[in-house]
Amino acid sequence: MIHLLQVNPSSGEPIYQQLTEQIKRLIAAGVLLEGDELPSVRQVASSLSINPMTVSRSYQMLLSEGLVLRPRGQKMRVAQAQASDEQARSEMLQPLVDDLVKQAKQLQLELSAVQSLLAQSWNSVTIPSDDADN
Amino acid sequence: MIKCRNLQAKRLAYLNFDLAEGKILGLLGKNGAGKTTLIRTLLGFNKVNEGAELEVLGYQPGAWPQELKNDIGYVPQRFAGFDGLTIDEAIATVKPFYQDWDDAFAEKLLAEYGLPRWIKIRKLSEGEKQQFSIVLAMAYRPKLLILDEPVASLDPLARRQFIEQLIDNHCETGTTVVFASHITSDIERIASDVLLIKEGKAMISGDLDDIRANLVKVNCRETAFAKLDLAPFKPLSHSQTGADHQFLCDAAGQNIAALLTAKGLQQVQVSHLNLEDLFLELHA
């Protein structure tokens, strides 16, 4: 699943939060299932070229929220099996949507213009799927 | 690993900071802010002032016992020396001084950079010299690695390679690193801690994630701004246009917008900044 993770060091959001949010989304969307192993801190740090403490911090947050478990001496595993319902997944997007709307209003765009932008983007943007995982 | 109190040296004025073992410190500052002075002082090249307390690996710089000297690796801003030797000859010269010289690791780094090993070092490009300097400093796996703008002459590919090697090495050996650079996105990636020096003083110092979470930019309107006591929020770099004010402050994990509104500020907007923007704000 490492290839599904990415960080943007220039974003306003700290890297450990970016990672935590991405893993949460992968769990919510059912891409990561109960019992799935998370890659080791070192693997993630190495492959994304980020500080291992940043990865640990993100894993700690997931642990404290009960989204992952670490059985004694084993790798970190995903705790919940059930993909969150659509309502919960939608809520995760809320801050991004609020931000988008704010910027759209600053640009004096109409709702219809934003909707057609969204539709265009929906049809052209693809995300990596988990099939490529080994 | 490093303890620094009241350090004054050339460009530094009462500098304080700590660095725990296993951390990676990103050292930021304008040209001339005192980064190189600090680095050279940590290495024992500069005299430490009366009243300062400076410890590196548990000793005052320069007073290390012989066995500790091999625990420090240093990549200077500009690599000089070994001019008439080839890379292989230079390595053969340096290697005997280091018990822990790791041949396999040195080979791996040289191969990854693809450095031409048969060419005299004076004929190498600046970037190649810098890469070679990195190989020399890392090959004996020092416990403390001090890097003074190690990527300044590197192209983006070589820079990325270096960052990857640094993180891999850090994961393997837990090396503590001091990394001076102007490339804030690199520091953002690899640093656990950050020290931003301005005019010889530490403007920002501490855990990078905490700083990113708590040091926020506030925009607001207030006509009687000067009368408000904002000292508890440690405001930095305040600027003003009419009744519009802008400043950085420490949210300390609290809802800063609500607190400032309660203080009487209007139209409070709080935003989080990346390191680059923080750097620019602090030098505006």
Q: Which of A18, A53, A102 to mutate to test the interface with B (most CBs of B within 10 A)?
A: A53
For residue A130, is pLDDT > 60? no
* Cα angle value A92/A56/B149 (rounded, 5°): 105
Max mean pLDDT range (A9-13, A31-35, A90-94, B274-278)? B274-278
pLDDT at A134: 40
Alpha carbons B165 and B108: distance in angstroms, whole number: 10
CB B167 to CB A15 under 8 A? no
Of the candidates A9, A89, A106, which has an alpha carbon nearest to the alpha carbon of residue A49? A9
DSSP-based three-state secondary structure for B199:
coil
Q: Which amino acid is at A108?
A: Q
User: What residues are paired with B249 via a beta bridge?
Assistant: B216
Q: Residue A31 carries which DSSP code?
A: S
Interval B31-37 mean pLDDT:
89
Q: Which residues of A touch B (CB under 8 A)?
A: 7, 9-16, 42, 45-46, 48-54, 57
CB A16 to CB B209 under 8 A? yes
Q: Kindly report the number of other CB atoms within 10 A of residue B225's CB atom.
A: 17
User: What residues are paired with B125 via a beta bridge?
Assistant: none
pLDDT at B146: 96
For B167, which of A14, A15, A45 is closest by C-beta distance? A45
The domains of chain A are located at 2-133
Contact B149, B26 (CB under 8 A): no
For residue B39, is pLDDT > 50? yes
Alpha carbons B76 and B262: distance in angstroms, whole number: 50
Alpha carbons B27 and B150: distance in angstroms, whole number: 12
Tell me the per-residue pLDDT of B53-96, one tens digit each, with 9 for 90 and over: 999 999 999 899 988 888 999 999 888 888 899 999 999 999 99
Tell me the per-residue pLDDT of B99-122, one tens digit each, with 9 for 90 and over: 899 999 999 999 988 888 888 999
What phi and psi, each to the nearest 5 degrees, are found at residue B82?
55, 20
Tokens of B263: 């203080």
| Comparison of pLDDT for A28 and B144, the residue scoring more | B144
Interval A26-34 mean pLDDT:
86
Tell me the per-residue pLDDT of B162-190, one tens digit each, with 9 for 90 and over: 999 999 989 988 899 999 999 999 999 99
Using the structure block, give the residue that is written with the tokens 């503590």.
B176
Tell me the per-residue pLDDT of A31-74, one tens digit each, with 9 for 90 and over: 888 888 999 999 999 999 999 999 999 999 999 988 898 888 78
pLDDT at A82: 53
Distance from CA of A97 to the nearest CA of B (A): 17
Distance from CA of B171 to the nearest CA of A (A): 6
Of the candidates A68, A81, A112, A13, which has an alpha carbon nearest to the alpha carbon of residue B213? A13
Interval A72-84 mean pLDDT:
74
pLDDT at A52: 93
pLDDT at A80: 65
Residue spans of alpha helices (H) in B23-125: 35-42, 66-69, 87-94, 103-113
pLDDT at B116: 85
Rounded to a whole number of angstroms, the CA Rg of chain A reads 17
For residue A85, is pLDDT > 90? no
Alpha carbons B7 and B197: distance in angstroms, whole number: 13
Tell me the per-residue pLDDT of B202-236, one tens digit each, with 9 for 90 and over: 889 999 988 988 899 999 888 777 777 777 778 88
pLDDT at A133: 44
Tell me the per-residue pLDDT of B117-164, one tens digit each, with 9 for 90 and over: 888 999 999 889 999 999 999 999 999 999 999 988 889 998 998 999
Contacts of A10 in chain B (CB under 8 A): 184-185, 188, 274, 276
Tokens of B58: 């548990």
Record: fold of A2-133 = Arc Repressor Mutant, subunit A (1.10.10)
Contacts of B188 in chain A (CB under 8 A): 9-10, 15
